[in-house]
């Protein structure tokens, strides 16, 4: 920041000029390319589309339309106004726009950082389909500090975005590592031995416990205090492996008519929009009972509750219940289907050891107060703060 302030004081102490984007950039649109075209012309050069997932890559073909340093933007759809920095050989579809700045007067990356802030403000939602067309993009006002200032600002913001990318890559690697060890720790060979040689009995869930289905209540029944409850939708949005406190509550009179999970039970969600939603579980470790929704089961058992909950997140469990899930507008499974899943049961000490290992991974990956997600969130706030400071220019008055 000190270097930037020095440059501004030297090169533009009275402010900077603002010009329209169309005056300093060539603006183009992509061409129509179907999935069949991309498949039939498969190659090494990316084709960017309106999507934001996978860096916007729709596919790769054997030719390219552009070669150099550019910006692209999403012209249509929910992600309209999204800005991407592109460098190299590539093509774009007809729902992608292209900006080619005049390199002698404006840094492509600097322009990208500016548009990343302001472009969304120019998106029109007419006819229910958000759009940011070329004629509107051309009218966006762009600040023009001297090129050395632009480049210095871009360099600073690049460091933030590179750190964010590194942290996200680390988080993704940790998630994959977590999933790998979670699956491996529940693996049992043909001789009944787990990965570290401990003997495990393999039994159906129906042999070691009982499934009790909850009773129906609706979101409008939920209050800010009263008897703790778990709505099935919260199983996807709020709860992880275990919980000792509920997010929601019910009036005592209503709660008395419903069913509960006891301390040590594992609550299993039995309905959702996709097959993958079914079977998520949370070990209830609260001091009191908790009311459960009718799209959930309470599984009462005598194993380590967190051990059972971790098991419900393994490929071993998922592969077993998949055949018993009925799919449709809402996918679901009944107690009979859940009860057939086979779980390896090592001695209690081994259950505790497995839980301790997975707790460390879970804390690193998912904990909102510690671990990588918090570090990523802090860095993003820091980036947004400095981006706002660095791109706050006084307008030059002639």
Over the stretch 51-101, which tens digit does the pLDDT of each residue have?
Answer: 778 888 999 999 999 999 999 999 988 889 999 999 999 999 998 999 999
Contacts of 50 (CB under 8 A, 6+ apart): 56, 74, 75, 76, 77, 79, 80, 93, 95, 96
pLDDT of residue 125: 78
Contacts of 328 (CB under 8 A, 6+ apart): none
CA distance 63 to 40: 12
370 domain-assigned: no
382 domain-assigned: no
Judged against a pLDDT cut of 70, whether residue 186 lies above it is answered with yes
Could you tell me the pLDDT band of residue 395, with boundaries at 50, 70 and 90? Answer: low
* Final residue in a domain of this structure, among 314, 345, 376: 345
We report the CATH number of the domain holding residue 229 as: 3.90.220.20
In tens, the pLDDT along 104-163 reads 889 999 999 999 999 999 999 766 789 999 999 999 999 888 888 889 889 989 998 898
CA distance 212 to 296: 9
Are residue 246 and residue 330 in the same domain, yes or no?
yes
Are residue 224 and residue 111 in the same domain, yes or no?
no
CA distance 192 to 18: 72
- 154-185 b/e with 16+ CB inside 10 Å = b? bebbeebbebeeebeeebeebeeebeebbeeb
Number of domains composing the chain:
2
Judged against a pLDDT cut of 90, whether residue 41 lies above it is answered with yes
pLDDT of residue 3: 64
DSSP 118-134: HGGGG-B-GGGS-B--H
Contacts of 165 (CB under 8 A, 6+ apart): none
Are residue 126 and residue 237 in the same domain, yes or no?
no
Are residue 135 and residue 207 in the same domain, yes or no?
no
Contacts of 377 (CB under 8 A, 6+ apart): none
Judged against a pLDDT cut of 90, whether residue 199 lies above it is answered with yes
56 vs 296, which has greater pLDDT?
296
Domain, as residue range, for 94 = 16-144
Partners of residue 144 on adjacent β-strands? 17
Are residue 205 and residue 118 in the same domain, yes or no?
no
In tens, the pLDDT along 353-389 reads 999 999 999 988 877 657 778 888 888 888 888 777 7
391 close to 153: Cβ distance less than 8 angstroms: yes
150 domain-assigned: no
Are residue 214 and residue 127 in the same domain, yes or no?
no
DSSP H stretches of helix in the chain: 2-11, 21-24, 35-40, 108-118, 134-137, 147-185, 205-208, 234-237, 252-255, 305-311, 315-321, 335-339, 348-366, 372-390
Are residue 108 and residue 210 in the same domain, yes or no?
no
Are residue 209 and residue 113 in the same domain, yes or no?
no
pLDDT of residue 2: 56
- What average pLDDT does the chain have? 90
Are residue 35 and residue 117 in the same domain, yes or no?
yes
178 domain-assigned: no
Partners of residue 201 on adjacent β-strands? 345
| Closest alpha carbon to 163 in 376, 371, 1 | 376
pLDDT of residue 129: 82
341 domain-assigned: yes
Could you tell me the pLDDT band of residue 16, with boundaries at 50, 70 and 90? Answer: confident
Please give the span between the terminal C-alpha atoms of the chain, in angstroms, as a whole number.
27
| Closest alpha carbon to 175 in 318, 315, 361 | 361
353 domain-assigned: no
Are residue 222 and residue 95 in the same domain, yes or no?
no
pLDDT of residue 38: 93
CA distance 222 to 215: 14
pLDDT of residue 195: 86
In tens, the pLDDT along 206-240 reads 999 999 999 999 999 999 899 999 999 999 889 99
367 domain-assigned: no
Judged against a pLDDT cut of 70, whether residue 176 lies above it is answered with yes
Judged against a pLDDT cut of 90, whether residue 263 lies above it is answered with yes
Are residue 92 and residue 22 in the same domain, yes or no?
yes
209 close to 301: Cβ distance less than 8 angstroms: yes
pLDDT of residue 1: 53
Could you tell me the pLDDT band of residue 14, with boundaries at 50, 70 and 90? Answer: low
Judged against a pLDDT cut of 80, whether residue 102 lies above it is answered with yes
Are residue 117 and residue 236 in the same domain, yes or no?
no
* Final residue in a domain of this structure, among 115, 144, 173: 144
219 domain-assigned: yes
């Amino acid at each position: 920041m000190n270097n930037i302030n020095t440059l501004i004081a030297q090169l533009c102490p009275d402010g900077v000029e603002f010009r329209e984007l169309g005056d300093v950039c060539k603006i183009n649109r992509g061409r129509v390319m179907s999935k069949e075209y991309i498949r039939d012309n498969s190659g090494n050069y990316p084709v960017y589309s309106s999507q934001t997932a996978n860096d916007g890559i729709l596919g790769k073909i054997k030719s390219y339309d552009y070669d150099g340093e550019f910006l692209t933007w999403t012209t249509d759809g929910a992600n309209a106004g999204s800005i991407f920095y592109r460098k190299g050989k590539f093509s774009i579809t007809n729902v992608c726009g292209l900006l080619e700045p005049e390199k002698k007067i404006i840094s492509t990356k600097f322009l990208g950082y500016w548009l990343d802030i302001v472009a969304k403000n120019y998106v029109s939602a007419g006819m229910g389909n958000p759009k940011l067309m070329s004629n509107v993009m051309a009218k966006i006002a762009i600040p023009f500090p001297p090129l050395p200032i632009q480049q210095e600002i871009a360099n600073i913001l690049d460091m933030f975005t590179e750190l964010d990318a590194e942290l996200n890559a680390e988080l993704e690697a940790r998630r994959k590592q977590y999933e790998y060890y979670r699956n491996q720790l529940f693996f049992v060979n043909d001789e009944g031995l787990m990965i570290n040689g401990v003997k495990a009995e393999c039994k159906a869930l129906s042999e070691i416990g009982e499934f009790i289905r909850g009773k129906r209540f609706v979101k409008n029944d939920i209050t800010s205090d009263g008897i703790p409850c778990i709505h099935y939708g919260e199983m996807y949005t709020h709860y992880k492996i275990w919980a000792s406190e509920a997010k929601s509550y019910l009036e005592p009179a209503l709660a008395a008519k419903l069913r509960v999970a006891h301390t040590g039970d594992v609550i299993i969600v039995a309905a959702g929009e996709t097959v993958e939603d079914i079977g998520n579980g949370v070990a209830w470790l609260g001091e009191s009972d908790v009311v459960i929704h009718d799209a959930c089961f309470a599984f009462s058992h005598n194993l380590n509750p967190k051990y059972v909950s971790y098991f419900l997140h393994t490929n071993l469990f998922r592969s077993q219940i998949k055949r018993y899930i009925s799919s449709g507008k809402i996918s679901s499974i009944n107690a009979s289907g859940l009860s057939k899943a086979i779980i390896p049961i090592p001695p209690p000490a081994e259950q505790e050891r497995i839980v301790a290992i997975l707790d460390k991974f879970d804390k690193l990956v998912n904990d909102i107060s510690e671990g990588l997600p918090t570090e990523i969130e802090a860095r993003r706030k820091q980036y947004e703060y400095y981006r706002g400071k660095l791109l706050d220019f006084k307008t030059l008055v002639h």
